[in-house]
Amino acid sequence: MSSATTTSTRTVLVTGAAKRLGREIALALARAGWQVAVHYRDSVEDARRTSLECTALSGNSASFRANLGNEAAVRNLVPRVIAHFGHLDAVVNSASTFEHDDATSFSFASMEKHMRSNAGAAILLAQGLHSHVQEQRSAGQAARGAVVNLLDQKLWNQNPDFMSYTLSKASLEAANTMLALALAPHVRVVGVAPGLTLTSNLLSDAQFQARHKMALLEHSSTPQDVAATVRFALDNQSITGTTLVVDGGQHLMRFERDFSLM
């Protein structure tokens, strides 16, 4: 697909956008008029379908394959998106590696795998966006950018499960502050932390429904709630260096285990 676009049309890269929460975010942003770069790793057909639906909503979308655990692939992703669309205004880091380990099964290999894809990739993509914005401003354009990092209510309600995953998200939450300071004034950085939002193969439908209700508001976040918050974070020009927790109050409760292992 050729890239015929105008700089007045906002473009966003959403990682992990082929399916699940990333897909919901991509579709919500497309409905709001954003051109969406749909990132995926292995889900070729899912990414194609998401991109086609985004195109139907906003007029332009494309899919981009990259392994976020590979530094060279991550560094090349933003330039590929810019080459296609002509410019990039925002990055939503939704993709996550989520594999179980705990204090007894923890290893350097597990930690490195999660850190690379969940924290390192997000930082490099923010770096790439910032460089692009600076280049645009050097060319006389009034460019600004925004990065939204998907976190987890687990950071404020810790349990001993999924240790490497949690460490990677804690690193990304710290990076929110550091990046907000480093990339200001032209790139904002905001965290969005959902609660239990989607089921998985670790939960039956009945288990998911029961645990989704385990929140102060008697419901946790929905994909639509999270997508709406991402859109808000991208649109509000006065938010940076903070995290919006969207979980029905789950982070204020005490859970001894991860939802999937209760």
CATH 3.40.50.720 fits 11-261, yes or no: yes
- The pLDDT mean for the chain works out to 95
CA dihedral 193, 21, 211, 217 (to 10 degrees): 50
* CA angle in degrees (0–180, nearest 5) for 68-199-154: 65
pLDDT at 203: 87
Q: Is the pLDDT of residue 95 over 80?
A: yes
Contact (CB, 8 A) for 188 and 147: yes
pLDDT digits (tens, 9 = 90+) for 212-259: 999 999 999 999 999 999 999 999 999 999 999 999 999 999 999 999
The mean per-residue pLDDT over the stretch 29-39 comes to 98
Contact (CB, 8 A) for 148 and 92: yes
Going across the sheet that includes 11-14, the strands are: 61-65, 35-40, 11-14, 90-93, 145-150, 187-194, 242-246
| Cross-strand pairs, 187 | 145
Model pTM greater than 0.75? yes
pLDDT at 3: 38
| Cross-strand pairs, 191 | 149, 243
pLDDT at 201: 81
pLDDT digits (tens, 9 = 90+) for 160-170: 999 999 999 99
In sign, the C-alpha dihedral spanning 240, 227, 223, 75 is negative
Contact (CB, 8 A) for 127 and 180: no
Contact (CB, 8 A) for 155 and 173: yes
Main-chain phi, psi angles of 187, to 5 degrees = -130, 125
Least confident of 5-19, 71-85, 163-177: 5-19
> Which of 262, 242, 252 is closest to 156 using CA atoms?
252
List Cβ neighbours of 210 (8 Å cut-off, separation of 6 or more): none
Main-chain phi, psi angles of 61, to 5 degrees = -160, 160
One DSSP character per residue, the chain reads ------TTS-EEEETTTTSHHHHHHHHHHHHTT-EEEEEESS-HHHHHHHHHHHHHHHS-EEEEE--TT-HHHHHHHHHHHHHHHS---EEEE---------TTT--HHHHHHHIIIIIIHHHHHHHHHHHHHHHHHHTT----EEEEEE--GGGGS--SSSHHHHHHHHHHHHHHHHHHHHHTTTEEEEEEEE-S-S--TTS-HHHHHHHHT-STTS----HHHHHHHHHHHHH-TT--SEEEEESTTGGGS--SS-GGG-
pLDDT digits (tens, 9 = 90+) for 51-74: 999 999 999 999 999 999 999 999
Q: Is the pLDDT of residue 115 over 80?
A: yes
Q: Is the pLDDT of residue 8 over 80?
A: no
pLDDT confidence tier of residue 1, bands split at 50, 70 and 90:
very low
